[in-house]
Amino acid sequence: MTVSNVLNNRPNVSEATRARVQEAIQRTGYTVNLAARGLAGGRTNTVGMLVPDLSTQYMGEIVRGASDEVRRSGMEMLISTASDITRERNQVTFLQGITDGLLLLLPRTPDETLVVLEQAGVPVVVIDHRGSKIMLPSVDVDNYSGARLAVEHLLALGHRRIGLVSGPKGYGASSARLQGYKEALLAAGLPFDKTLVVPGDFLQPGGFSAGKKLLSLREPPTAIFAASDLMAFGVMEAIKERGLRVPQDISVIGFDDIPMASQVYPPLTTIRQPLYQMGVAAARMMIAMLRGVKPPLSRITLPTELVERASTGRAAGAPPAPTPHLLQRSRRLDKEKEVVDEPS
């Protein structure tokens, strides 16, 4: 009826009736029922996002980027957590009907689940998924190159015995970073020593115990590369607990560049993943799909970047002269602000 026209401010309503309707809305406290609108209109103007949890800044940043971008385009965003894989399936169908498309940040979802979705015709963008075979629109980060950057940085500082706290098995990011670590060593003519690789879980306590393990080797490393910032924090604490100093005694480098990385002491040298930007990119792909535009790239891999702070330094026995490249410190400051006008 005419009310619908008023609500969606469409033409062909006189100012008089428009005002009359507005008044009635005010008086009765009416609000649209979005379920009904979605049912009738065939679209909900809402995109859903599924994340494993919300307790790390890592997720927070990606979600923030995606949310901001979705809203910027006039749509709304609904978030839901899917802790275990059995649940994910339910979750996905649960969002059906109330969203137009799904952003999936589920690093361990089996391909099979994704295929089902695609066949059902649900627009889906996958974020940070292990290198799956199926070609779904996805946003990833160059984990391999990032790991190489990290190790090469340590090598350039003169370190020769470099420990790795790796991510848990089953994540694409874990194996890519391990691969980068291995090949960086290889390229430098160093042997791969299995005892220097300790598995972690991407979380801080896991990094702490992994760090202790590395420190209690008969010949401990002079530098440690942790495959996540959270684990790097844990490693730094293990080092402090042992009475050693970062970076004078042991250098530590992380991966992710979560906001906290610049706020701990000493500030963490790390490999930056453009987390906010990943969310933005995923949201943009989704919006393009919903508008019927086939996105030019269906798979985006964003670059990583070394962010040099204070947790890495020259190896004890190494020659003191730094190579020129080490002098130019990274100058980046929340680069996404430039790119997408992030509202502060």
Partner DNA sequence: ACTTTTTGGTTAAGCGCTTAACTTAACGCT
Partner DNA sequence: AGCGTTAAGTTAAGCGCTTAACCAAAAAGT
User: How far apart, in whole angstroms, are the C-alpha atoms of residue 45 and residue 264?
Assistant: 40
Q: Which of 2, 5, 73, 80 binds a copy of itself (CB under 8 A)?
A: 80
Q: Which is nearer to a copy of itself, 67 or 277 (CB)?
A: 67
170 binds a copy of itself, rule: CB under 8 A: no
Bridge-partner residues for 125, per DSSP? 103
Interacting partner of 259 out of a copy of itself, DNA, none (Cβ under 5 to 8 A depending on kind): a copy of itself
Whether the upstream peptide bond of residue 266 has omega within 30° of 0, thus cis, is yes
292 binds a copy of itself, rule: CB under 8 A: no
Interacting partner of 24 out of a copy of itself, DNA, none (Cβ under 5 to 8 A depending on kind): none
Per-residue binder mask for a copy of itself (CB under 8 A), 96-125, x = binder: xxx-----------------x--xx-----
Per-residue binder mask for a copy of itself (CB under 8 A), 294-323, x = binder: ------------------------------
Part in contact with a copy of itself (CB under 8 A); list of ranges 75-83, 176-184, 219-227, 292-300? 75-83
- Report whether 213 contacts 224 (CB < 8 A): no
User: How far apart, in whole angstroms, are the C-alpha atoms of residue 16 and residue 218?
Assistant: 86
User: How far apart, in whole angstroms, are the C-alpha atoms of residue 20 and residue 14?
Assistant: 10
**Size of residue set near a copy of itself by CB under 8 A:** 51
166 CB-near residues (< 8 Å, 6+ apart)? 174, 177, 178, 181, 197, 198, 199, 200, 227
Per-residue binder mask for a copy of itself (CB under 8 A), 247-286, x = binder: ------------xx--xxx---------------------
Q: Helical H runs in 96-199?
A: 111-119, 143-156, 172-187
The pair of three-digit structure tokens given for residue 214, joined into one six-digit string: 């590395």
Smallest gap from residue 33 Cβ to a copy of itself (A)? 4
